[in-house]
Amino acid sequence: MTLRNYSIRKRVLVTGGAGFVGSHLCERLIAEGNDVLCVDNFFTGTKDNISRLIGNPHFELMRHDVTFPLFVEVDEIYNLACPAAPVHYQYDPVQTTKTSVHGAINMLGLAKRVKAKILQASTSEVYGDPQVHPQREDYWGHVNPIGIRSCYDEGKRCAETLFFDYRRQHELRIKVARIFNTYGPRMHPNDGRVVSNFIVQALKGEPITVYGDGGQTRSFCYVDDLVEGLVRLMATKDGFTGPVNLGNPGEFTILELAQKVVALTRSKSRIVKKKLPADDPRQRQPDITLAKLHLSWEPSVGLEAGLKKTIAYFRAGKSSPA
């Protein structure tokens, strides 16, 4: 028996907790009465994102790189540490793979030592440029192993492998979420991701850059919906591991998104088309049947409502702790 059994509050570690999704997750976990340890190396995350939590006695912030081992006592681990936007993960691709793979090994090692439950933030990128549409969890994907996106895609695929091997070999309690495009307040304003890009361009009155013909589709999940899904997944019975898709199945073309952003910001920006980057997937849409069944989860925030909140955040300026 360990001393931690006497504590009523759960001690939850969130790696990448100062990032976009991680900061919303930390807030949610604190609001639910947990003690939260946020671990981040601030590569893409910022203290601004968690400024509301700093000073809260149940919140602790640790600057640490997950590619190095971590020794802490916790009950649950959400492993989110990893740059998610192509400009960030392609900046130092070797470090990206290390973050995914060594980070997973270190966090799984920690989970094994302290018998914690551990959730991996995986991604729809494990499906690559999918030949099956919409994507179900039993689809193995169509991924280029040597392209410019591979550091992220293959890193995340290897992390999933490690999670399942730790389960088979060490009976770890694991959960794997495959997250699809998520947006909302605290997205990095210059990370080139489509929603933040369009909003920032529209607010500045600059041309809105659509890559390719704009006919490629994406699904967009509002961050509060995603966080709800992650928390529900962590709470599932030990027998349920996933992988489980978390995303919004509503499908929009990139051009439709651009037009919506222009309309909602009342911007005078023009839409201009540019060459499609390498390995950009044509279509992405989650099949969320499994999440509905096992988590009783589905997104509740529509694109327009979510865009309005995100636009309000960007209008207020980056330092706003929305």
Ligand X SMILES: NC(=O)c1ccc[n+]([C@@H]2O[C@H](COP(=O)([O-])OP(=O)(O)OC[C@H]3O[C@@H](n4cnc5c(N)ncnc54)[C@H](O)[C@@H]3O)[C@@H](O)[C@H]2O)c1
CB of 190 to ligand X, least distance (A): 12
Task: Please list, residue by residue across 292-305, b when 16 or more beta carbons sit within 10 angstroms of its beta carbon and e when fewer do.
Answer: eeebebebebebee
| Residue whose CB is less far from ligand X, 66 or 199 | 66
Please name the amino acid found at residue 217: T
Task: Please list, residue by residue across 111-140, b when 16 or more beta carbons sit within 10 angstroms of its beta carbon and e when fewer do.
Answer: beebebbbbbbbbbbbbbbbeeebbebebe
CB 196 within 8 A of CB 189: yes
CB of 7 to ligand X, least distance (A): 25
How far is 96 from 107, CA to CA, in rounded Å? 16
CB of 266 to ligand X, least distance (A): 26
- At residue 72, what are phi and psi to the nearest 5 degrees? -145, 165
CB of 3 to ligand X, least distance (A): 27
> Of residues 78, 127, 152, 183, which has the active-site annotation?
152
| Residue whose CB is less far from ligand X, 34 or 120 | 120
| Residue whose CB is less far from ligand X, 128 or 267 | 128
Our answer to whether residue 313 is catalytic in this structure is: no
Going by C-alpha positions, the residue among 218, 285, 288 that lies closest to residue 246 is 288
| Residue whose CB is less far from ligand X, 103 or 299 | 103
Residues near ligand X (CB under 6 A) are 15-16, 18-22, 40-45, 65-67, 80-84, 88, 99, 103, 121, 123, 179, 181-182
| Residue 82 backbone zone (phi > 0: left; psi -120 to 50: alpha; other: beta) | left
- The catalytic residue positions are 152
